[in-house]
Amino acid sequence: MHGAPYVPGSECVGAVLDSDRYPPGTLMYAECHASPRTPGTFAAQVLVADDNLLALPDGVDPVLAAAVGNAGVAAFAPLIEIGGLRPGDAVLVLGATGTVGKIAVQIAHRSGAGRVIGVGRNRAALAQLRGLGADAVVELRADETADELADRLLAVTGAVDVVLDGVYGPPLEAALQVCAPRARVVNIGNAAGATAQVPAGLLRGKQLTLSGFAGLHIPFQEKHDVLSWLWTAIRRDELRLDVRRIALEQLPAAWAAQADSSHEKYVVVPDGAASPAQQETN
């Protein structure tokens, strides 16, 4: 049974047409929780509450500002605010070849991590991580046990202090084995499985902190500082994003490509041009 149809899209950058708070023409980042009752951002015009708007700083590419929104928050908040990344920490990013993972590698590197290790399945995408700040990369292998992966991780990473986990399942089980005492582990996804075994002795013996993060449950006002940090990094060319701009009519093909792990961020631009009128992200 299918649910009621609705316009999807959770974020966008656009110019204000009418607002009680902001002048017309002001470029804003908007967050929208799409549903049958609340149309999302895959549209030429979007109705968004003023409380869910944040003005873009001068000099930021609107397309990049839209592309880094949700993905950037999902990387920054778990690493810095929840994981408490400190200068010198060893950081392990599970699922480092996707957009969030690539951003996380760069954030960890620029935040003073002593060592950044990226883990993923795509060999070509893993190779790119070194140019983004990764000190080492580890390729996930099919049919490898958690213990086997842990052995390979330990040989490359040594003990790690912060784990950003975007895959869960056996890779997380392996990562827990290479955690240093009092390491912080934050899960943001489960691409490798919906369950993982966490041995009680390991959890208590290393005094690990396990947390989960979902941007959907974070009030928009609490994301303002993170978004400002991300946009400043983009404006200073300190944060790189792989972005593909597409027209709205290309959305079905782009949706299918994203489902196949394209390792880049798609931004829907009205009329196929980089117009400031609206930049929607997947």
- Averaged confidence pLDDT in the chain: 92
**Out of 90-94, 168-172, 222-226, 258-262, least confident range:** 258-262
Contact 98, 263 (CB under 8 A): yes
CATH fold of 73-216: Quinone Oxidoreductase; Chain A, domain 1 (3.90.180)
- Please tell me the predicted confidence (pLDDT) of residue 178: 98
* C-alpha–C-alpha distance, residues 95 and 237, integer Å: 24
Stretch 222-226: mean pLDDT: 97
> What's the pLDDT at 260?
64
| Residue 281, pLDDT score | 57
Instruction: Determine the average pLDDT of the residues in 9-22.
Output: 95
Q: Which residue ranges does the chain devote to CATH 3.90.180.10?
A: 73-216
Window from 15-29, 71-85, 130-144, 245-259 with minimum mean pLDDT: 245-259
Taking each helix axis from N to C terminus, what angle separates 146-157 and 169-177, rounded to the nearest 10 degrees? 50
Residue corresponding to tokens 């798609």 = 266
- pTM flag (> 0.85): yes
38-49: per-residue pLDDT in tens? 889 888 889 999
How confident is the model at residue 279, as a pLDDT?
A: 53
State the pLDDT at residue 255.
Answer: 78
Q: Residue 39: what pLDDT?
A: 87
pLDDT at residue number 243: 92
Q: Which sign, positive or negative, has the C-alpha torsion 249, 253, 256, 258?
A: negative
Residue 183 phi, psi dihedral angles, 5° rounding? -65, 155
pLDDT at 137 over 70: yes
